[in-house]
Amino acid sequence: MKLLAPAPGWTAQADVIVVGSGIAGLTTALQARTYGLSVLIVTKSKVDEGSTKWAQGGIAAALGPGDTPDQHLKDTLVAGADLCDEEAVRVLVTEGPEAVRKLIERGAIFDTEASGEISLTREGGHLRNRILHAGGDATGAEVSRALLAAVHDDPEIEVVEHALVLDAIKDASGSVCGVTLHVIGAGSRDGVGRALGKAVVLATGGLGQVFAQTTNPSVSTGDGVALALRAGAKVADVEFIQFHPTVLWLGDNTQGQQPLISEAVRGEGAYLLNDAGERFMVAEHALAELAPRDVVAIASMRTMNKTGAHHVWLDVRHLSGFEARFPTIYASCIANGIDPAKDLIPVAPASHYASGGVRVDLNGRTSVNGLYACGETACSGVHGANRLASNSLLEGLVFSARIAADIAGNLTEHSEPIENNSESVLLDPETRRELQLSMSRGAGVLRSSDSLLQTSADLTRIQDRTSDKPCVEAWETTNLFQLAQAILKAALIRQETRGSHWREDFPETQNNWRKRIVQQLDKRGDWTTSYQEVGK
What residues have CB less than 8 Å from 123, skipping those under 6 apart? 57, 58, 60, 131, 263, 264, 266, 267, 290, 389, 390
Q: Which of 114, 112, 157, 148 shows the shortest CA–CA distance to 133?
A: 112
User: What three-state secondary structure class fits 400?
Assistant: helix
How far is 48 from 145, CA to CA, in rounded Å? 8
| Torsion angle of the four alpha carbons 121, 379, 22, 160, in this order, in degrees rounded to the nearest 10 | 180
Q: What's the N-to-C CA distance of the chain in angstroms?
A: 29
Q: Residue 235 class from Cβ within 10 Å (0-12 exposed, 13-18 middle, 19+ buried)?
A: buried
Q: How far is CA 97 from CA 68, 93, 131, 203, 461, in A?
A: 10, 7, 11, 22, 49
315 backbone φψ class: left, alpha, beta (φ>0; ψ -120 to 50) = beta
Total length of the chain:
536
Q: Which of 122, 194, 266, 293 is catalytic?
A: 293
How far is 97 from 92, CA to CA, in rounded Å? 9
- The DSSP annotation for 24-86 comes to HHHHHHHHHHHTT--EEEE-SSSTT-SGGGG--S-EE-S-STT--HHHHHHHHHHHTTT-S-H
User: Phi and psi at residue 435, in whole multiples of 5°?
Assistant: -60, -50
Q: Which of 266, 268, 261 shows the shortest CA–CA distance to 290?
A: 266
Q: Which of 349, 344, 370 shows the shortest CA–CA distance to 299?
A: 349
Told to judge if 293 belongs to the known catalytic residues of this protein, a careful annotator would answer: yes
Q: Which residues are catalytic?
A: 293
